[in-house]
Amino acid sequence: MPRQMKQPLNDERFLQFARSYLRESFPNPERVGCPPDRELQTLIESPLKANSSLTEHLSCCSPCYSRYAALLEAQRIRLRRKAFDRLVAFYRQTPARLAWVSGALVLLSIFWIFIWRAPQPAYSAFTLDLTAASETRGANSNSSGPVARIPKRPLQLKIQLPLGSKEGLYLVSLDAGKGVVWSHEAEARLVDHVIALEVRADLRSLPAGRYEILLQSGFEKIEYPIQITRP
């Protein structure tokens, strides 16, 4: 017949066995040579200050081990109760702190719900074709070309640059006549034989009207008139 394999002794079963063994295997009903409770308590509260011979005695005296285990459990209960009492006293003595913490948690929840979890706007694709622009104008030139109409909504804006433009990083800006009201950086690349860049532009906060779109890369600057219209 095949022999049954013994089930391995896990940590918890081993500890249970060790406790049972120490409680029962070393009877000492007369408590001969046993230390008083105060020395066992010292071993629990300050092990480094206790007499090292106590641990040897506990390993060969079941009554002392049982008493030590009872004192240790009582100490654990006292420490848990003391920690709970300190927590209660903290909130009783400083109710303003509790109110502050509660308020902060409420604000964080509101921030999470309305900011982080707020639905993002849907960006619609829109292409601004500047390939036929007559020239790359300087800063002091007069931009009197045709006006491109761009809807006032969140756009995934693709700008096709004039012929002869270079690849690289461009600063894309909108100038309302009294200064820049929006700007973003984007990388222009050659796609299907056209130098183009893409940028997200949420135009909902801008008033409808006439603007100049500016694209600048190094000393090269492109200006083009646009009209932001209501969607």
What CATH number does the domain located at 124-229 have?
2.60.40.10
pLDDT tens track for 31-90: 778 888 888 888 888 878 778 788 888 788 888 888 888 888 888 888 888 888 787 776
- Pairing outcome for strands 220-229 and 124-129: unpaired
For the chain, what's the residue count?
231
For the record, the structure tokens of 56 come out as 């040897």
pLDDT tens track for 164-218: 899 999 999 999 988 899 999 999 999 888 999 999 999 999 999 999 999 999 8
Read off the pTM. 0.47
Tell me the domain boundaries of the chain.
11-93, 124-229
Half-sphere exposure of 106 (CA within 13 A, CB side): 6
Provide mean pLDDT across the span 20-33: 76
Nearest CA to 135 among 112, 164, 113? 164
- Pairing outcome for strands 220-229 and 209-217: antiparallel
